[in-house]
Amino acid sequence: MEASERTLEKVFLCGGVYAGNFKGLLPHGKGKYTWSDGTTYEGDWEEGKMTGKGRISWASGATYEGDFSGNYLHGFGTFTGSDGSLYTGGWRMNSQHGIGRKQYQNSDVYDGCWKEGKREGSGRYAWSNSNMYIGSWKNGKMSGRGVMKWLNGDLFDGFWSNGLRHGTGCYRFADGGYYFGTWTKGFKDGQGTFYPAGNKHSARRKSSADKNGEKKKRLLVHSSSVNSENSVRPHVRRSHSEKISNTLLRCSSQTSHRTSSLREDSALDDISVDMSFDASSRYSDDDQSGLQGDSSVAFEREYMQGVLIKERVRSISGLSLKSKKRYKFHAKEVKSKSCVDIFEGHRRYYLMLNLQLGIRYTVGKITPVPAREVRSSDFGERARIRMYFPRKGSQFTPPHYSIDFYWKDYCPMVFRNLREMFKLNAAEYMMSICGDDGLRELSSPGKSGSIFFLSGDDRFVIKTLKRSELKVFLRMLPRYYRHVSQHENTLITKFFGLHRIKLKHGKKVRFVVMGNMFCTELRIHRRYDLKGSSHGRFTKKDKIDEGTTLKDLDLTYEFHMDKLLRESLFKQLSLDCEFLESQQIIDYSLLLGLHFRAPEHLKALLEPPDSLHKPASAQATLGGMTSQGELSIPPRGLLLVTHEPSSVSTEPGPHIRGSTLRAMSVGDKEVDLLLPGTARLRVQLGVNMPAQANLKVLQDKTDSAEVELFEVYDVVLYLGIIDILQEYNVRKKLEHTCKSLQFDPMSISVVEPKLYSRRFINFLERVFPVAP
First to last CA, the chain: 94
Residue 722 vs residues 138, 148, 587, 588, 719: alpha-carbon distances, Å = 34, 40, 9, 6, 10
| Domains of the chain and CATH, by start | 343-516 (3.30.800.10), 521-603+657-771 (3.30.810.10)
Exposure string (b/e) for 492-515, b if CB count within 10 Å is 16 or more?
Answer: bbbbbbbbbbbbeeeeebbbbbbb
- CB 220 within 8 Å of CB 208: no
Q: Quote the pLDDT of residue 369.
A: 85
Q: What is the mean pLDDT of each run of 10 residues along the chain (772 residues)?
A: 62 83 86 90 91 94 94 94 94 93 94 93 93 93 93 93 90 91 88 81 50 43 35 36 36 32 33 34 36 66 82 68 44 36 55 90 87 90 90 89 91 93 88 82 67 88 92 95 94 94 84 91 89 83 78 89 94 96 92 83 47 34 32 61 83 70 92 82 92 70 50 88 79 50 46 88 93 73
d(CA 50, CA 522): 50
Q: Quote the pLDDT of residue 255.
A: 30
- CB 647 within 8 Å of CB 680: yes
Q: Which of 39, 455, 476 is nearest to 264 (CA)?
A: 39
Helix segments in 505-637, DSSP class H: 563-582
Task: Report the relative pairing of strands 526-530 and 549-550 from DSSP bridges.
Answer: parallel
d(CA 605, CA 702): 28
Q: Identity (one letter) of the amino acid at 131?
A: N
Query: Phi then psi for 492, rounded to 5 degrees?
Result: -70, 145
Q: Identity (one letter) of the amino acid at 335?
A: K
- Mapping DSSP onto H, E and C, the string for 622-670 reads HHHHHHCCCCCCCCCCCEEEECCHHHCCCCCCCCCCCCECEEHHHCCEE
Looking at the DSSP bridge assignments, the partners of residue 310 are 302, 708
d(CA 119, CA 229): 8
Q: What is the dihedral of CA 47, 52, 58, 61, to 10 degrees?
A: -170
Question: Which residues, at least 6 apart from 303, have a Cβ–Cβ distance to it below 8 Å?
Answer: 181, 187, 188, 189, 190, 192, 309
Question: Which residues, at least 6 apart from 683, have a Cβ–Cβ distance to it below 8 Å?
Answer: 565, 640, 643, 660, 661, 663, 671, 672, 673, 689, 690
d(CA 575, CA 311): 42
Three-class SS of residue 563? helix
- CB 706 within 8 Å of CB 615: no
Question: Which residues, at least 6 apart from 302, have a Cβ–Cβ distance to it below 8 Å?
Answer: 190, 191, 192, 308, 309, 310, 311
d(CA 600, CA 692): 13
Residue 692 half-sphere exposure, CB side, CA atoms within 13 Å? 25
Three-class SS of residue 478? helix
d(CA 331, CA 312): 25
Q: Quote the pLDDT of residue 548.
A: 84
CB atoms within 10 A of CB 6: 14
- CB 80 within 8 Å of CB 104: no
- CB 707 within 8 Å of CB 310: yes
d(CA 353, CA 438): 9
Residue 492 vs residues 448, 487, 726: alpha-carbon distances, Å = 20, 10, 14
Q: What is the dihedral of CA 522, 528, 529, 535, to 10 degrees?
A: 180
Exposure string (b/e) for 94-130, b if CB count within 10 Å is 16 or more?
Answer: bbbbebbbbbbeeebebbbbbbebbbbbbbbbbbeee
Sheet containing 384-389, strands listed edge to edge, beginning at the edge strand earlier in sequence:
334-335, 439-442, 452-455, 460-465, 508-515, 495-503, 405-410, 384-389
- CB 350 within 8 Å of CB 451: no
Q: Identity (one letter) of the amino acid at 375?
A: R
- CB 233 within 8 Å of CB 265: yes
Looking at the DSSP bridge assignments, the partners of residue 63 are 57, 80
DSSP string covering 417-442: HHHHHTT--HHHHHHHHHSTT-EEEE
- CB 411 within 8 Å of CB 477: yes
d(CA 67, CA 76): 6
Q: Quote the pLDDT of residue 651.
A: 62
d(CA 126, CA 476): 59
Three-class SS of residue 108? coil
